[in-house]
Structure formats: C-alpha cells, structure tokens
Structure 1
Amino acid sequence: MPTNKETNSFNSFEPYQAEANEEYMSDPQKDHFRAILRAWKNELMGEVDRTVSHMKDEAANFPDPADRATQEEEFSLELRTRDRERKLIKKIDKTLELIENDDYGYCDTCGIEIGIRRLEARPTATQCIDCKTIDEIKEKTQRL
C-alpha cells in the first residue's frame, strides 16, 4: 500500500472522464496514465536526491555513542524507504513499458479490463480487483 508521500503526485490528477462510447485504453486514456506515472516517478526521484543531500549534510561523527546510534538508525530507516521507492520506480518503468506495448489496463491473470478507477487508485495494478482479491486470500491462507 503506498504511503501518502508516494500517492501525492497521482492523487493530484483529475479523474479521467471518458467520452461516450470511448474505447477502453484509448490514446487519451494512455496519455492520462502516462502523465500520472511520470509525475509519480519524478516525485520519487526527487526524494532520492533529497535523501542523498540530507545524508551528506547531516552526517556527523558524534562523540556520544547514543547520538551516533540514533543518527545511524535514522539513516537506516531512510535508506530502507528509498529502497522500497527504488523498487516502485522499477515497477513504474515496467508499467510505462506496458502502455507503450498496448498491454496496459488488462488483468495479467484473466485478461479482462482492470478498469479506469482502479488504475487511477493504483496505476501500477496488473490484476483486476477479483483476481487480486483471490491472490490475497490465497496468500493469507498460506501464511496460516
């Protein structure tokens, strides 16, 4: 589930309003999702740059071991967050590639349309809500 920081860019877009009888994943729809994904990626890349600057600026050799440990823990947490975002950037790039190959918007499992509203909520979705729900139920029962 994306954090608020991760969703800010694509939540600022207006919901897509399809024209009457508009074909699913028409060029305007693809352009809409391309813009959302690029904005999201740019925001994440900005976070990476801010982290690098922050770590350079804030890196200090504290004489107090507790202060040093606190700083190391903060840096560790920040790096874990950036690692998750790095993986998300890869997922965004893969999704942009799906758009270019006209494979975006259809469920990987059953092949039906994922739906505009679901894609706006989760632009990198690769499954329809029904298949995703089934996968999550299977995953949950496997953990038990």
Structure 2
Amino acid sequence: MTEEDLLRQPPEAYMNEPQRQFFRNLLLAQRLALQARIDEEFQSLRQQEVHSDAADQGSAEEERHWQLRSLEREKRLLDKIDQALERLARGDYGWCEETGEPIGLRRLLLRPMTTLSIEAKERQELRERHLRAD
C-alpha cells in the first residue's frame, strides 16, 4: 500500500489490518535506518584520534560531546519507535492516548510515533507554556 492508497481509504477503514501493516512497515524501516545511523556514530566515536595539541584536543572533545548528545536523541527516538511498534501489536496504535479518538492518517504519516491527536497535543503544549509562565 502506498501513502496515496492509504489516504484514499474511507474513514471507517481506520486502523484496519492493511493500514496497521503499512505503519508497521514504515516504523520498521525507520527503525532500521536509525539503528544504522546509531551504529555508524558509535563506530566513529570509537575511531577518534588522540590529539597532542591542546586546541585540537578541545575541539575533538567538543565534537565528541555533540556526537554523544546526538546519540542520546537518536536513542530516545529509537525507544519511541519501539513503543509505537508495541502499540501496534496491542492494537492501540493510531488512537490518542488522552482522548481515545483517532489520531488521523495524515498526522501519523508525519509523526508515526505520536501518541496524541493534534488537539490533544495543542492542549498539552498550552499547559506546558502556562506552567513555564508561572
């Protein structure tokens, strides 16, 4: 099934087996690509040179710091993909965890790991902004 096929399906087909399979394949492909990037980054970190010049050493350490932060973000994303795959297996995928309403195919295509509908996400962001303002 293509994205176009997915979007042409009637509303009552929401999260039927072909749609779940589409998102399972999408998530697995994203997981595979992300895991390859993580493995590549780890390999790069292992092969870093030791510099004798203090300036070079400082630059290399700064680069290593940014690589580690990037790896942490990618690891969190990998965890979110795994959680989405678990929701698919349970049959909860595609439904807002706050309201129980459908998240929507277009939103899931843009953010396949999302757990909130657009409206629920907007409310969450509004609450967070309100808490920060206090």
Aligned residue in 2 for 1:5: none
- Cα deviation, 1:123-142, whole Å, max 9, x if unaligned, reads 01111111110110110111
Structure 2 residue identity aligned to 1:101 = R
Structural mapping, 1:23-38, within 5 Å: 23-38=13-28
Runs of 4+ with deviation above 6 angstroms: none
> What residue in structure 2 maps to residue 137 of structure 1?
126
Q: Unaligned 5+ residue runs, structure 1?
A: 1-12
| Residue 143 to residue 20, structure 1, CA distance change in 2 (3 Å) | closer
1:61-80 CA-to-partner distances (Å, cap 9, x unmatched) read 21111101101110110111
- What 5-or-longer segments of structure 2 have no aligned partner? none
Q: Write the distance in 2 (CA, Å) between the matches of 1:50 and 1:64.
A: 27
The reply on whether 1:70 has 2:62 as its aligned counterpart is: no
Matched residues, number:
131
Q: Which amino acid aligns with 1:67?
A: D
Once the two structures are TM-superposed, the CA of residue 22 in structure 1 deviates from its matched residue by: 4.8
Q: TM-score scaled to structure 1, two decimals?
A: 0.85
Residue 39 (structure 1) aligned to one of 29, 33, 40 = 29
Instruction: Please give the secondary structure, in 1, of the residue aligned with 2:38.
Output: helix
Alpha-carbon distance, 1:17 to partner? 3.3
Q: CA RMSD in A?
A: 1.5
TM-score, structure 2 normalization: 0.91
**CA offsets per residue over residues 28-70 of structure 1, 9 Å max, x none?**
100111111111111111111111221222x222111110110
Distance in 2 of aligned mates of 1:73 and 1:79: 10
Within 2, Cα distance between the matches of 1:121 and 1:70?
Answer: 36
Of all paired residues, the percent bearing the same amino acid is: 35
Would you tell me which structure has more helix in proportion to its own residues? Answer: 2
What letter is aligned with 1:121? Answer: L
Q: Pairwise mapping of residues 55-134 of structure 1 onto structure 2 (< 5 A)? A: 55-57=45-47, 59-134=48-123
SS in 1 for 2:106: helix
Distance 2:112 2:129 in 1: 24
